[in-house]
Chain A
Amino acid sequence: MNQANPNRPQLALSDLSVTEFLTLSRMGFLPHGLVVGSAIYDAGWSNLSGRTQEVTSLSQAMRGARNVAVKRMRDQANKLGAEGVVGVRLQVEHHRWRGGHQVAKIVAIGTAVAYDGAHAAGDMKNAPSLHLRDGRPFTSALSGQDFVTLLRAGYRPVSIAVGCCVYELNGYGVWQYAQTGRNEEIAEFTQALFDARELAMERMTKDLFADHGLAGAHQAAGHPDAPVGVVGMKVSEQAHAGVNNVIEYTAIGTAVAHLQDGDPRRAARPPAPAIVVPLDR
């Protein structure tokens, strides 16, 4: 791994900032191209019940669309001979097409990177590959700087983890409560949204382990790519396709695992933080 990477394209597109590019290239990682995967799913309304409960078919549609989009992006990175994708973003758009099709469009986009021994700084030469054990490239929603900080601390990104849940609220019920004129908790809705959020987070973990062929974290011991945790997690909520009483929760984060033993990218001593006063303001 000391010589130039033969897979590296002559000209590679990337959406890395200058700081990201420099921190990555010091570690020996060079961009191999901007990679994109997308999926359009039919996510229709025929399944609304008028009651407060999960819309299972929509939850599954959103989950399927995200998984397909991420897989396509990953495959594209694989074709470019990349080791992984950094700075992955997932964008969701809802469209209503002529003829009444309500569709969800998901786009996964990131920069494919790979290790190039010829470009690595002296102490970073001969680093082992960060490919997953089954040969797939890793994916990470972290910025280039965060990616490098993570490696120095002895962790590596494995894959982005996504979970979602679409929940319908009985719209009539809200009106009812508003008429009472009282200040009090609406337990029915508290329970519903609390549940929806927990479901999204739970599914994120389940899908993450299923992606590595594991039934759950309890089976992970001994697996080389077993994630130890998820960092940079965000749980967002929005009205699904702009419909007020259908709420969609999405949990997204980056799963991390330990670096292989003897990887030179792990700093000899854990990076010691210092208190600094930035002079840029």
Chain B
Amino acid sequence: MSNQYPPGPPGGPYPGVPGVPGAAQYAGVQYPGAPGAAQYHGALGTPGAPAQPQYADLPQHARERLEGMRKTHFFTSDLSVNEFLLVKQAGFEPLGLVMGSSIYNINVRNPTNLGQYEPGRELEDVTRALYHARELAMTRMEEEADELGADGIIGVRMDVNLHAWGQSVAEFMAVGTAVRHAGGESYRNAQGKPFQSGLSGQDFWCLLRSGYRPVGFVMGNCVYYVRPEALIVPNDARNGELSPYTHCLYDARELAMERLQAEAEDVKATGIVGVEIEEKQHTWGAGGRGAQFLGGNAAKLYGETIEFFVFGTAVVPAETREPCPVPTMVIPAND
């Protein structure tokens, strides 16, 4: 990925905009994830925040449910019938539906110390919080799969549920189906944990057939504040780019992508497939906290806060490779 930021128009309103949002300027930020992820697995919250009670251990009913499934080989899964059969065809047995979640209090405060020509800035606390919430959910899901003796988790989905009972609260949830290789080959990752993959059963089968295997569900995010001045269309109403706004979104996206890549490099992946980019304003909505009073104009007064969330499945080439099957063309008769 190129870090090259498109230069703004000459003589634009923000001549001082830093051109290249590189990793260097954020080197001091302790971003949970690669490479220092380990330190966050046990400790909730940001460093220095008061200690939180630990719920890393699974609830009692989770342990009961998993224990039952492990003993009797009775499985549950959210795989469709086609996915179920393809996973079996690929040599894996579904073991059970696994999930993890975390309910997180999210407080967005707009920065008050922006430089005169600074169009916006990353809200590092919020970035860290949203990442941490997802990481907690994923770790708990992994724990469930580990309990089942799984080799991996396929069809991982990362959902964000907003509940009406909490304005500043979001539930982050990871769901997937734990699988084990029927032949007893270990597909666990380098850390000895079950691999995670966001691919569907169909994609999982295709990937294995073409000589690759998933090693991890990788993600990166960035929460960015855009100041109100950057959103205002100039009075002369010419058609033109709002270059400060572009700059902010570009910067946010690149930061998220950079972190995604760093995570994939951390698990020694050769590539990431099925990458998706989501752009969201979770609990705070457009325009931040004042929005509910001001309707659509809130962003022009308070600025805008956006999260970019990118995720994908990191893959490595398998040791043994069969020739990739040639696709057949078909015209489906169903609609």
Contact indicator per residue, chain A 222-245, by CB within 8 Å of chain B (1) or not (0):
000001111111110101000011
**CB neighbors of A among B73-95 (8 A):** 73-82, 84-86, 88-89, 94
B136 → chain A closest CB, angstroms? 6
Give the residues in chain B near A270, CB-CB below 8 Å: 85, 88-89
A22 CB to nearest chain B CB (Å): 9
Report yes or no: A185 in contact with B72, Cβ–Cβ below 8 A.
no
Interface positions, chain A 160-212, Cβ under 8 Å from B, are 169, 171, 174, 177-178, 180-187, 189-191, 193-195, 197-199, 201-202, 204-205
Cβ of A218 within 8 Å of any chain B Cβ, yes or no, is yes
Interface of B is mostly: mixed
Contacts of B193 in A (CB 8 A): none
Contact of B329 among A228, A239, A276 (CB under 8 A): A276
Q: A10 to chain B: which residues have CB within 8 Å?
A: none
Complex Cα gap A272–B44 (Å): 47
- Tell me the bound Cα distance from A184 to B59 in angstroms: 20
Binds B, one of A90-98, A107-115, A127-135, A142-150: A142-150
Chain B residues with CB under 8 A of A199: 61
Chain A contact residues: helix, strand, loop or mixed: mixed
Let me know if B330 and A276 touch, CB within 8 A: yes
The residues of A that contact B205 with a CB separation of less than 8 Å are: 273
For residue B291, give the distance in angstroms from its CB to the closest CB of chain A. Answer: 16
**Least Cβ–Cβ distance between B132 and chain A, in angstroms:** 8
- Given A19-B334, A187-B52, decide whether A230 and B76 contact each other with a Cβ distance below 8 A: yes
**Residues in A neighbouring B71, C-beta threshold 8 A:** 217-218
For B194-220 the 0/1 string (1 means CB < 8 A from A) is: 000000000001100100000000000
- A181 with B107: in contact, given A187-B52, A201-B76, A274-B325 (CB under 8 Å)? yes
Residues of A contacting B89 with CB < 8 Å? 270, 272-273
Contact for A202 among B55, B65, B77, B140, CB less than 8 A = B65
Given contacts A142-B81, A278-B332, contact A202 B64 (CB under 8 A): yes
- In the complex, are the beta carbons of B74 and A280 less than 8 A apart? no
Measured between C-beta atoms, what is the minimum distance from A275 to chain B in Å?
4
* Interface residues in B131-189 (C-beta closer than 8 Å to A): 132-133, 136, 140, 161, 163-169, 171, 175
Q: How far is the CA of A279 from the CA of B333 in the complex (A)?
A: 10
Q: Is the CB of B82 within 8 A of A186?
A: no
- Kindly state whether residue A271 has any CB partner on chain B within 8 Å: yes
In Å, the complex CA distance between A253 and B331 comes to 31
A94 to B54, CA, bound (A): 37
Cβ B165 vs Cβ A174 within 8 A: yes
- Expressed in whole angstroms, the Cα–Cα distance for A244 and B109 within the complex equals 26
Q: In the complex where A220-B74, A231-B79 touch, is A193 in contact with B171 (Cβ < 8 A)?
A: yes
Residues of A within 8 A of B84 (CB): 231
With a CB–CB cut-off of 8 A, which chain B residues contact A178? 105, 107, 166-169
Shortest Cβ-Cβ A-B pairs, 4 listed: A183-B129, A217-B72, A198-B61, A217-B74
30 A-B pairs with C-beta separation under 8 A: A19-B333, A149-B81, A178-B169, A183-B125, A185-B44, A185-B52, A185-B102, A185-B133, A190-B101, A193-B101, A193-B103, A197-B99, A197-B101, A198-B61, A205-B76, A217-B71, A218-B72, A229-B75, A229-B76, A229-B77, A231-B81, A232-B78, A233-B76, A235-B175, A245-B165, A247-B163, A253-B78, A275-B326, A276-B328, A280-B332
Q: Which residues of A pack against B, CB within 8 Å?
A: 17, 19, 142, 146, 149-150, 153, 169, 171, 174, 177-178, 180-187, 189-191, 193-195, 197-199, 201-202, 204-205, 216-218, 220, 227-235, 237, 239, 244-245, 247, 253, 270-280
